[in-house]
Every structure is written in C-alpha cells, then in structure tokens.
Structure 1
Amino acid sequence: MAPGKARSHRSAHPTRGATRATVAALAANLAIALTKFLAWLLTGASSMLSEAIHSFADTGNEVLLLLGGRSAKRGPNSVHPFGFGRQRYINAFLVSIILFSVGGLFALYETGLKIAEVLRGEPDELLASSWWWVPLVVLGLSLVAESVSLRTALRETHSAREQLSIAQFVHESRAPELPVVLLEDSAALAGLVFALLGVGLTLLTGNGLFDALGAGMIGLLLIAVAVLLGVEMQSLLLGESATPQMAGVIAAALTSTPGIEAVIHMKTVHVGPEQVLVAAKIAVAPTQSAGYVSAVIDAAERNIREAEPMCTYVYLEPDIRRAVYRAARGIGSGN
C-alpha cells in the first residue's frame, strides 16, 4: 500500500452498526419495562419497580440516541459552519443525566421507602401476594432478552474495537452510541442479578429488607454508570482529537505529498463522531512560487481525504523551516 494510503482502524463508519444495536436495545428494553411494571403491580416488589423504571429510562435513552443520529445528519449552515455532528454527543450526555436522575436516584428513593416500611413492621406486599412467582419469571426472561441485546452490541463493536478491550473501546471511541448501549446493557444485566437476589432472598427468608437492598444496589449501579458515561461524553463535547492511529495516517498522507518537506505541527479535533477537522502547518521549499505551493496544498488535501474520509474539514498553512530559510539566505548561525 502506498504511503499515506494506509487506513486507520477508526476510519470505518460505525453508524450503521450503532443503529442496529440501538434499535435492538430499544425493542428489548420496552418489552422488558412493560413486563417488569406489570410484575410490580401484581406483587409490589421494590426491586421490580426500580428495574421497571430503569428499563423505561433505557428505552427513552435509545430514542434519544436515534434522534441524535438523525439530527446530526443536517448539513452545515452559516450559524453552524461545521454541521451538527456533536448533536450525537449532546444526546448521549442527556442519556447520562436520565440514568442518574430517573434511574439511579429513583431507585435509591424507592429503597428508602421500602426500608422505612420494613422498620415500621408493615406487611410485605411481595410475601403476601399470590403472584410471588411472577417477578422470578419476569427477571429470568429479562436476563435472556438483555443478553441477546448485549450480544448484538458486542457483535457490532467487534470490527470497530479490534484488539481493544471493552473498557478501552468505551474510553477511546469517538462515536457515542455503541459505548452507551454497551454500558446500558451491561448495567441492565447486573441490575437484573441484583433484583433477582433481592426478590429471591426475600421469598426465601421472609424478610423484605433484601428486596429493598436489591433496589438500592440497582440505584448505586446506575449512578456509577451515569457518572462514567457523563465523564466520557463531557470529554467528547469539549472536543477530542483524532485517535493516535488516525493522526498517524493523516501525517503520513501529508509527508507523502510531493512538495511537502515535513509537518511542522498538526492539530485535529472531532466536530462529530465521523467528522474530523485537521489544521496543520507544513514545511515547503522557500524557493517555490505561490502557484506551486497552492497546488501542493490541494494535492495534500486530496491525499488526506483519500486516506481518512472522516477528515471533512482540512486547513493547511504553508511555512518554511527556520534552518532551511537561514541557509537559503546565507545567514550564518551566529547572526
């Protein structure tokens, strides 16, 4: 492969795979949320209500991600000259807020109410219900559905993350949808385990405190995931550079262009998950004409976009390396 033509493993557009994973998670979460809510109505189990709210929140989150992807497709205008790609980051950040408030804080609130009921000695609705077995069935089916959703997300991320671990992929990915779905599905599976333990131990021991503790663990889990997601999305909103792999490909595309002697310095920033702005100062020969330099810049821009199609905006500034300039002018090192 010719120099400058090597493709970074980040160049593959993940939007299609992200959309499939998001739609799969949306369908799974909506169905699960309805069954969990029904189980709570029948039994009054706090863990089931916390899980139902969690699943409804996740359903709303998937809708937000899909809407963000749709809004991000709008082209640039005079007010937003670099387009609307960051809309996807904004919606993903809203997801973290929903997870924290609607999911995590509500679960902790429900935990407090349940513990107060247990301390007052009030009869436990789950233990008194003839439908006590329903939460166990719902949680079992939910585990299967969430596992399928997580498997879909993992399959869609396989080509994108290559040798990266899931944790590294979540941290390094510049596209928010797949990391969000991965975190949500992982949290959902862990939350189901907590709920199953809470309900199961309550039924085995006759102590409603276990159900309350299960809801509390779900709340703490969701808050932890929300904080992690919020930190990652905040970094993307502030503007992250291209990955080292992509930056290397861009630099190689520049230096392989005839007429460019070196890259003096280069800066990149994601203006969207699949839109990168490149600003670089390049060294050219001091004896070349303006017309020649202009042609070199045009060729360099073409090379960059061929090597990395995500480089939507490219701004190159020609310059002369100081040592070369001094030599061309015959200026001694002591002057």
Structure 2
Amino acid sequence: MPASKTPIYTALAANLLIAAAKLTAALLTGSSAMASEGIHSLVDTSNEVLLLYGMRRSRLPPDEHRPFGYGKELYFWAFVVSLLFFALGGGFSIYEGIHHLLEPEPVRNPEWNYAILGFALIFDGISLITALREFNRQRGGAPFWQAVKQSKDPSTFVVLFEDAADVTGILLAFTGIALGQYFHNPYADGIASILIGLLLTFVAIFLVRESRSLLMGETASPQEVAQIIDLVQNAPGILQVSHHQSMYLSPEEVMLQLQVRFRPGLNSEDLVATTQQLRLNIQQLFPHFQHIAIEAV
C-alpha cells in the first residue's frame, strides 16, 4: 500500500515553526534543555526534507546507469536521516547538557519556556497522530512492533519515531525546567538536556539498524514467496521451483529470481510462452513484484 506524504509534510511544517520558537525561547531564557529541543527540531526539519528528496529520487525511471531504477534512493536517505538524528540530535543535546552541568546558570523568564513548550506539544502531538494514523493504515491488523520490523517503507516509521521522540523530549524539557524552578536548582535543566540526548540516541540507533537492513536488501515475505512457488509449481509444464531469491528495491518494488525445472518435451516456443504467462500470473497476484527473472534448470 503506497505511503502518503501527509505525515512528512505535517511534521516538516510543525518542526520548522517549533524550531524557531524553541531557539528564540532558549536565547531569552538561557535554558539548556530548550536549546537542545530547538536543535532537535531543526534536525527533524532537515530530516523531513531529506526524506521527501529520497522519495522523489526513488521514483525516477530506470536508465542505462540504473537498469533497476532508483528505488533504493529512499533507503539511502532514510539511513542518512537516522545518522543525523544520532550525531546532531543526540550528540548536541548531551554536549549541551554536560556544558550546563559544568557551568550552571538559572533559567531566566521560565514563563517563555512553558508557553513555547505548550505550543510545541500541541503541534508535535498533531504530527504524531497523523503519522500514527498513516502507520496504522499500512500495518492493517499486524501487531505494532511486528509491523515496524516488517515495514519496507522508512518514510513512515522514521517520521513516526521522530514525532514520538519529539513529544517525549518536550515532556522531559518541561519537567527539567519546572524542577529547576521549584527547587532553585540549575542542574535539573542540564540533566533534562542529557536525558533528551540519550532518548534521541536510543531512537537513532534503532532507526539506523532498520534503515541499514533495508539498504542492504531485505527479502520478500515468506508468505508471499510461498504463494508464488505454489502458483508456479501448479502451472502447466512445470515440475518444480529449484531455487528462489528476492529483494526489495523500494517499498513497492521487488526483484524476484526463480530457477524452474520444466517438464521434458517442451520446445523453445512453449518455454517462452510459459515463462511469460508465469510473469503475468505472479504480477497479477502481487503487483509489486516488478522485476521477475525465470531461469530454466
């Protein structure tokens, strides 16, 4: 099921507005946690731009340089996004928190922080709900974590986890600022910034692992392959499927190679006709199997 771009556009608009508001509040109040959140939102904004670029590139038609198309562009840019999330989001937040612990200073005008965080929570919450609805539409009745593991569309689950980290980070920043104000303890703000950085690092490591797996090439689902093998082996003139290989080139594009034993006595014309009919039957059952190679054994 093709992914909608709506969650990405929603997240892009929300993060752009929120980043400006958070960084302004950080300058006015000197809050380390707010500065971390502002950088976090800027990183998220760049991530959405890169994902949209990857989606556009992945739809380019095949050419002499890329005979199987540019589908893996999406997987590459999703991997880059995951690394940026780790290096810029998590790394800077941890650095900012440690710097604030070494040189603590009380937060000035905390009311600005509360107002901006409330504003950010509303917009990030809307973005999270939009991404979650799109992910639920795609996963159907599959359990959540199973659907994440099996998903071949990083543009959906990357945005979902980014938005979830955004909302959690806002709550951590709010808690750190409030505790620092209540107990007159400037260290609470720095600790909140470090916790935000650790949260982003954990999410980034998970996204890097999932994106890397897609970039390296994941096979089609065993259920789909089993149905294809059953379809082929029940076709006239076929004895057995001896070997099969498959790989996702993009969320809606799979390459499949079959080694097939044909019944003795088939001439070359019969082999060509049978092979062509098998390709049509497979693509009618699973349209995303767009590159099918059938080799006679």
Fold-level similarity (TM above 0.5)? yes
Q: Give 3-state SS (helix, strand or coil) of 2:46's partner.
A: helix
**Alpha-carbon distance in 2 for matches of 1:266, 1:203:** 63
Q: 2:2 aligned with 1:13, yes or no?
A: yes
Shift, 1:28, TM fit: 1.1
Deviations 1:225-247 (A, max 9, x none): 11111111111111110122332
What secondary structure is seen at the aligned counterpart in 1 of 2:264? coil
| SS of alignment partner, residue 84 of structure 1 | coil
Shift of 1:256: 4.3
Residue 250 in 1 paired to residue 228 in 2? yes
What is the 5 A alignment of 1:233-248? 233-248=211-226
More deviation, 225-234/258-267: 258-267
Q: Where in structure 2 are the equivalents of 1:159-174 lying within 5 Å?
A: 159-174=137-152
Q: Which residue of 200, 204, 226 corresponds with 2:182? A: 204
- 1:170-199 deviation per Cα after TM superposition (whole angstroms, max 9, x unaligned): 211111100101110111111111111111
Q: Any residues of structure 2 matched to 1:203-242 within 5 Å, and which?
A: 203-242=181-220
Q: Identical aligned pairs, as a percentage?
A: 36
* Structure 2 counterparts to residues 122-133 of structure 1, below 5 A: 123-124=105-106, 126=107, 129=108, 131-133=109-111
Letter in 2 for 1:213: I
1:215 Cα deviation from its structure 2 partner? 0.3
Gaps of 5+ in 1: 1-11, 320-335
Distance 1:252 1:156 in 2: 32
| Cα distance in 1 for residues equivalent to 2:173 and 2:289 | 46
Question: What is the SS of the residue equivalent to 2:289?
Answer: coil
User: Quick one: which of 39, 54, 60 aligns to 1:74?
Assistant: 60
Moved over 6 A (4+): none
**Partner Cα distance (1:33, 1:253) in 2:** 53
Query: What is the TM-score when the length of structure 1 is the normalising length?
Result: 0.85
* Structure 1 SS opposite 2:254: strand
For residue 305 of structure 1, what is the aligned residue in structure 2? 283
Q: Would you say 1:41 and 2:27 are equivalent positions? A: yes
Question: Which of structures 1 and 2 has the bigger CA Rg?
Answer: 1
Tell me what 1:181 maps to.
Answer: 159
Q: Look up the equivalent residue of 2:71 and give its one-letter code.
A: G
Distance in 2 (alpha carbons) for counterparts of 1:113 and 1:197:
19
Alpha-carbon shift at residue 71 of structure 1 (Å): 0.8
Q: Aligned pair 1:314/2:275, yes or no? A: no
Contact 2:247/2:255 (<8 A) preserved: yes
Query: Conserved in 1, the CA contact under 8 Å of 2:110 and 2:177?
Result: no
Gaps of 5+ in 2: none
Whole-angstrom distance in 2 between the partners of 1:184 and 1:298: 44
CA RMSD after TM alignment: 1.3
Distance in 2 separating the partners of 1:101 and 1:115: 21
Residues 131 and 156 in structure 2, CA contact (< 8 A), matched pair in contact too: yes
- Provide the rounded CA distance (Å) in 2 between the counterparts of 1:258 and 1:206: 81
